[in-house]
Amino acid sequence: MTRILQLGKFYPIHGGVEKVMMIFTEGLDERGYSCDMLCASHDGEVDDIVLSERSRIMRTNTLVKAAATMISPEMIFRLRRICHRYDLIHIHHPDPMATLALWLSGYKGKVVLHWHSDILKQKFLLKLFMPLQKWLIRRADLILGTTPVYVKESPFLQHAQHKTGFLPIGVDPHPWLADEIETIRERYAGKKIIFNVGRLVPYKGYHHLIDSMRLLSEDYVLLIGGDGPLRGELEEQIKRLGLQDRVELLGFIPGKLKPAYFAACDVFCLSSILKTEAYAIVLIEAMSLARPVIATKIPESGVSWVNADGVSGINVPIEDSAAMAEAIRTICENPELWEKYSRGARARFYDVFTKDEMINNLIEIYTDLLNNSKERK
């Protein structure tokens, strides 16, 4: 039986990279493949989690978190002990700890490098990590991005384009929670609901989304789910603009309730401004519920590829509140166009972004890579 290891990041899941690793591990196991996951512990728990007789999540002890990286020497020693068991290691970038562990493991098999994003914020870390990152790019037999745009535009992958590909992230469609949706719509009766959800951090561009509300009529309300360090600053902006009755920071939304907000809104509006937003899973979550979406044209990011302009919604320039407001009006005040984008969003989700489609493509990628290796031997 082919054995695969997903390597990188941490557990429990806190972000998009770990979520993708988990979806891969569970999805492959459900198809009968042996797929383990090795990651640093985020909560002090280090016992293995058994998924089935074939697959498990292996957590290693973390000494300290520094520069957004879990420092786990145990990962190095454990990978050295077990790496010979695997036909293929799928490492998820950016994760300097996982890269160091792979480098020191002596592993000789196939390596798939999943390039989720460039290292952008941690400039000092990048300087230290650069030699190891260059090694990882050379070592990889295949480099996968989440969109064709990101791997093509990344300055770090320009000399490795001959071995790059892409695999869109896929998720299961959200359920239609009729009662919860009705409750939300009744709370904002008579209003057109704009929705966004994510951490309240600078690259999400919430200042511009809030500012766009000045240009929209009283018929519109903006709901922002999530929490983070910018909450106080955003609350002050809302107060300063006199938008307290039209913009609401919802705070953390429980996972079971989040689909209701996606479905209750008239349009989902992503306002991110930096390529730190490489993909935006929230876009496809909204599309699974047939919501038209508005996204930003972030340079070198795959966001505006995920939202096909004119099909699932509209893409607007970054940091442009007026363009965002105009796109919102265009969709919400034209019922035929809203219906077109609603159908287009749902169709694009089922054509490109389902979990089943992603796992099918992943299995095909692994099979081709391993078969080509056998043919060369």
Q: Is 181 helix (H, G, I), strand (E, B) or coil?
A: helix
Q: Do 144 and 210 share a domain, yes or no?
A: no
Q: What is the CATH number of the domain that holds 55?
A: 3.40.50.2000
What is the distance between the alpha carbons of residues 49 and 228, in angstroms, rounded to a whole number?
30
Residues 6+ apart with CB under 8 A from 221: 188, 191, 192, 193, 194, 246, 247, 248
In degrees and rounded to multiples of 5, residue 352 shows phi and psi of -125, -35
Which residue is associated with the tokens 């300063």?
Answer: 240
pLDDT score for 1: 74
pLDDT score for 375: 56
In degrees and rounded to multiples of 5, residue 109 shows phi and psi of -85, -165
DSSP string, 122-178: -HHHHHHHHHHHHHHHHH-SEEEESSHHHHHH-GGGGGGGGGEEE----BPPPP--H
Q: Do 268 and 345 share a domain, yes or no?
A: yes
Residue 255 structure tokens: 């996972």
Q: Do 257 and 244 share a domain, yes or no?
A: yes
Residue 34 structure tokens: 């042996």
pLDDT score for 376: 54
Q: Do 261 and 323 share a domain, yes or no?
A: yes
60 with 78: CB under 8 angstroms?
A: yes
Q: Do 305 and 197 share a domain, yes or no?
A: yes
What does the radius of gyration of the chain's CA atoms come to, in whole angstroms?
22
User: At residue 249, what is the residue type?
Assistant: L
Overall domain count for the chain: 2
What is the distance between the alpha carbons of residues 221 and 114, in angstroms, rounded to a whole number?
38
What is the distance between the alpha carbons of residues 200 and 195, in angstroms, rounded to a whole number?
14
Q: Do 131 and 223 share a domain, yes or no?
A: no
What range does the domain containing 306 cover?
A: 178-352
Q: Do 201 and 120 share a domain, yes or no?
A: no
Q: Do 47 and 163 share a domain, yes or no?
A: yes
Q: Do 216 and 306 share a domain, yes or no?
A: yes
What is the distance between the alpha carbons of residues 51 and 37, in angstroms, rounded to a whole number?
10
pLDDT score for 68: 62
The pLDDT tens digits along the chain (377 residues) read: 789 999 988 877 767 788 899 999 999 999 999 999 999 987 778 888 999 999 999 999 887 776 567 778 999 999 999 999 999 999 999 889 999 999 999 999 999 999 998 877 767 667 878 999 999 999 999 999 999 999 999 999 999 999 999 999 999 999 999 999 999 999 999 999 999 999 999 999 999 999 999 999 999 999 999 999 999 999 999 999 999 999 999 999 998 999 999 999 999 999 999 998 989 999 999 999 999 999 999 999 999 999 999 999 999 999 999 999 999 999 999 999 999 999 999 999 999 999 999 999 999 999 999 988 665 55
What is the distance between the alpha carbons of residues 172 and 344, in angstroms, rounded to a whole number?
18
Query: What pLDDT, in 10s, does the model give residues 74-129?
Result: 999 999 999 999 999 999 998 899 999 999 999 999 999 999 988 777 676 678 78
Which residue is associated with the tokens 């690793």?
Answer: 21
What is the distance between the alpha carbons of residues 225 and 263, in angstroms, rounded to a whole number?
14
CA atoms in the 13 A half-sphere facing the CB of 313: 33
Beta-bridge partner residues of 50: 56
Q: Do 8 and 64 share a domain, yes or no?
A: yes
**Dihedral sign, CA of 338, 344, 349, 352?**
negative
Nearest to residue 8, comparing CAs of 29, 42, 49, 38?
Answer: 38
The b/e string for 182-211 (b: 16+ C-beta within 10 A; e otherwise) is eebbeeeeebbbbbbbbebebbbbbbbbbb
Q: Do 368 and 315 share a domain, yes or no?
A: no
For residue 312, the 8-state DSSP code is: T
Q: Do 343 and 286 share a domain, yes or no?
A: yes
Residues 6+ apart with CB under 8 A from 2: 33, 34, 87, 88, 366, 370
pLDDT score for 112: 98
